[in-house]
């Protein structure tokens, strides 16, 4: 009985000392390599064997827009191409996805901009990777953190600021004109600019939001939703 308890205790210790992700793989220590850990990523494990390499789900992968993107000119069903602008390797040096490979995504939904500066949302389904030799590999990826693309607070604030400046300038001009007529140019300029700026601020806030835009080469962080098996290259 004591011998059985000892065996069970050792087995329990070993199971606790190994990461759950490694145990789920069922792989040997000499098969484990690591992707460079990205900020906020949950794991960085890769199974490397003669039969192929497997990147474990929940790893982060970074790709880049292959062309400028503007949600105003896209619709559901359209395809979008992303590229790997550098080789994806493990820290140990194993090549996983060569540079110039492509990731293809399909636009599944676009929520247009709405009043009160609510920006457009773009949802995409990432379907497959195309290697330089033409090999197609199905993938299960999702945009990290948020599942959609959307302009951020910085861009929204810039739009509101542009309205404020533009309409404020018009107000200042009108105020100056009125001030000239009354013999108080500076006073008219200040009052007109203040009123115009206030109107511009309100107009910027209640106006429709922004379409989503991305420049060619802009990086996107994606999270694997399932293990990704890749051929040895």
Annotated domain spans of the chain:
7-151+211-230, 153-206
- pLDDT reading at 59 higher than 70: yes
- pLDDT reading at 24 higher than 50: no
Q: Is 2.40.128 the CATH number for 7-151+211-230?
A: yes
- Mean pLDDT for 28-55 is 86
Q: Which of 217, 221, 222 is nearest to 65 (CA)?
A: 217
| Helices of type H across 183-217 | 185-206
Question: pLDDT higher for 29 or 121?
Answer: 121
Q: pLDDT class for 17, splitting at 50, 70, 90? A: very low
Q: What is the pLDDT of residues 83-99, one digit of tens each?
A: 999 999 999 999 999 99
Q: What is the pLDDT of residues 108-126, one digit of tens each?
A: 999 999 988 889 999 999 9
Q: Which of 227, 231, 230, 225 is nearest to 125 (CA)?
A: 225
Is residue 155 within a helix (H) or strand (E), and if so which, with residue range?
helix 153-182
Residue carrying the six token digits 């802009």: 218
pLDDT score at 203:
54
Question: pLDDT higher for 169 or 145?
Answer: 145
pLDDT score at 195:
52
Residue carrying the six token digits 């069922």: 26
């Amino acid at each position: 009985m004591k011998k059985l308890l000892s065996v069970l205790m050792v087995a329990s210790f070993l199971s606790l000392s190994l990461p759950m992700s490694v145990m789920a793989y069922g792989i040997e220590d000499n098969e484990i390599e690591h992707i460079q850990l990205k900020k906020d990523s949950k794991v960085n494990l890769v199974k490397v064997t003669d039969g192929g390499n497997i990147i474990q789900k929940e790893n982060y992968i970074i790709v880049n827009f292959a062309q400028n993107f503007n949600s105003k000119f896209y619709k559901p069903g359209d395809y979008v191409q992303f590229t790997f602008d550098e080789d994806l390797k493990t820290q140990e040096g194993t090549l996983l996805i060569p540079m110039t490979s492509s990731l293809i995504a399909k636009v599944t939904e676009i929520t247009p901009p709405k009043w009160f500066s609510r920006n457009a949302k773009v949802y995409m389904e990432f379907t497959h990777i195309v290697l330089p030799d033409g090999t197609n590999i199905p993938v299960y990826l999702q945009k990290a953190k948020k599942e959609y693309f959307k302009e951020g607070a910085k861009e929204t604030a810039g739009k509101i600021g542009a309205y404020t400046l533009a309409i404020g300038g018009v107000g200042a001009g009108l105020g100056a004109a009125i001030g000239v007529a009354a013999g108080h140019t500076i006073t008219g300029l200040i009052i007109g600019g203040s009123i115009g700026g206030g109107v511009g601020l309100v107009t910027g806030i209640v106006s429709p939001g922004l379409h989503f835009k991305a420049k060619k080469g802009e990086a996107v962080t994606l999270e694997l939703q399932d293990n990704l098996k890749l051929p040895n290259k």
